[in-house]
Chains A and B, each alone.
Chain A
Amino acid sequence: MNFFEVIRVVAWKDLLCEVRSRETISSMFFFALIVILVFSFSFSMDQQAAHELIAGILWVAFAFTGIIGLGKSFSAELQNDCLEYLQICPAPKGAIYLGKVAANLLFIVTAEVILFPMFVIFFNLDVVEDLPLLLLIFFLATLGLSTVGTLFSAMTVHIRAREVMLPILLLPLAVPVMIAAVEATRGALNGNPLALYRHWIDLLVVFDVVFTVVSFWLVDLILDS
């Protein structure tokens, strides 16, 4: 049993289950759509204001959408007590954690990539030049949310008021990710030179590294008795 094999197997299993049920991705997608619609009604009078705030609106939608996905990551393991098997199997819990982070990252970024064109349409954005850079920002920020989010998802799965506890715990801690994501996205959307907002991307990388390590190290305490 190889450590990386376990990561691959867990991520693949999550992917396969999701592709066949399409439960998580559809709830995420429609939720985000509703958020976009509500925001576009709120700002329909003032196009100028919308343009200023678009990066923020984008990340509010993405954050809450991501939380839905993160919550389902472990609540899906409650069916047939599958979580019990994950707890007592000999595979290292850190590997299981990383597999789930990888799967969550993939789902949420996919949702973001599908939703972004909707934003462009509803808010009349100009054609964005640097799409790969935008994608990188989406990826890094989502990774930041996923590292701590997957840990907290495991923590809150057994708790009463599970769906509300995950955002309550995650969002305050994710403030640096949100700030960095919004600032970097705004820079990229406005076509500013990279040097101006490069440091925000660096912050995202630092956050990702720090919290992947910290969460990986702590996950044994959550998944194990």
Chain B
Amino acid sequence: MVAIRGLHISKSYGHYRILEDLSFEIAAGECYALFGPNGAGKTTLLRILATLHRPSAGQLEILGRDAIREREAVREGLLLLAHGSHLYDELNAVENLNFAMALRAAAPTSREVKVALDQVGIGAFAELKVRYFSAGMKKRLAMAKVLLARPKVLLMDEPYTSLDEAGMVIMNRYIQDVVKEGASVVMATHDRVKSAEVAHRAGILRQGALHPLTREDLKTHELF
């Protein structure tokens, strides 16, 4: 079953054309690793998939719905983990999670929230204001969000940055869990090694176009 289908998607930002005629399909339960040099448009593509931007041309279908016309319906199953942590500095971890979930259909009990925080390893910091969290801790809090939201499509923009070794292991473990439950994951990343552990397919965004990569490519070739 196809979770994401993009047809002839292009995006111009003002004067610059960033994405040119992209067509792709991502199945349910598949993890797709997106590579590309800085400025190639990985973040732009992810944001289009997250329904944050409208493509300048083309069609996008997510979870069987038209992602351009029926955005509200599509968003329920989507979760974007981006550069910004989407966290409020003045609220603590529990409050941040409750707020994020209240804006979705999920309504986790306080017990579920506690369990999620424990599972990602920051249970001890549940009552601490996010202002005092390190970048790695914020990433783990984002993973707790994934656990509670149970999205069908998970979009991640450079998930491995700021994570320590243990954090990266946990991250990959959760990606695998999420994928096993039938969700699709699209991650933009520079980390070949870590992403190779979880990705089923990979591609590189270059000059506005998407080229598929094989495992061989990932291991040996220069990605430029």
Interface residues of A (CB under 8 A from B): 1, 5-6, 9, 13, 16-17, 20-21, 79-82, 84-92, 96, 224-225
Contacts and interface: CB of A to CB of B under 8 A. Distances in A.
Contact of B84 (A20, A84, A224): A84
Interface string B87-98: 111110001000
Contacts of B99: 9, 13
Interface of B: 50-54, 71-72, 75-76, 78, 80, 82-91, 95, 99-100, 102-105, 129
Contacts of B129: 20
Contacts of A89: 75, 100, 103-104
28 contacts: A1-B102, A6-B102, A13-B88, A16-B91, A16-B95, A17-B88, A17-B91, A20-B91, A20-B129, A80-B85, A80-B89, A81-B82, A81-B83, A81-B85, A81-B86, A82-B86, A82-B87, A85-B100, A85-B103, A88-B51, A88-B80, A89-B103, A89-B104, A90-B75, A91-B102, A224-B71, A225-B51, A225-B52
Nearest to B145: A85
A6 to B, nearest CB: 6
A1 to B, nearest CB: 5
A1 B83 CA distance: 26
Contacts of B78: 88
A81 B84 contact: yes
A20 B88 CA distance: 11
Determine chain B's interface SS by DSSP, over half rule.
loop
A2 B89 CA distance: 26
A96 B84 CA distance: 20
Most central of B50, B72, B103, B105 by chain A CB within 10 Å: B103
Most central of A13, A16, A96 by chain B CB within 10 Å: A13
Nearest to B86: A85
Contacts of B87: 80, 82
A88 B53 contact: no
B136 to A, nearest CB: 15
Contact of B103 (A1, A16, A80, A81): A1
A89 B54 CA distance: 15
A90 B90 contact: no
Contacts of A86: 103
Given A9-B102, A90-B72, 13 more contacts: A5-B102, A9-B99, A13-B95, A17-B91, A20-B129, A80-B89, A81-B82, A82-B86, A84-B52, A88-B50, A88-B75, A91-B104, A224-B71
A209 to B, nearest CB: 26
Nearest to B85: A80
Contacts of B75: 88-90
Contacts of A224: 71
A92 B75 CA distance: 11
Nearest to B102: A9
A79 B85 CA distance: 9
A219 to B, nearest CB: 14
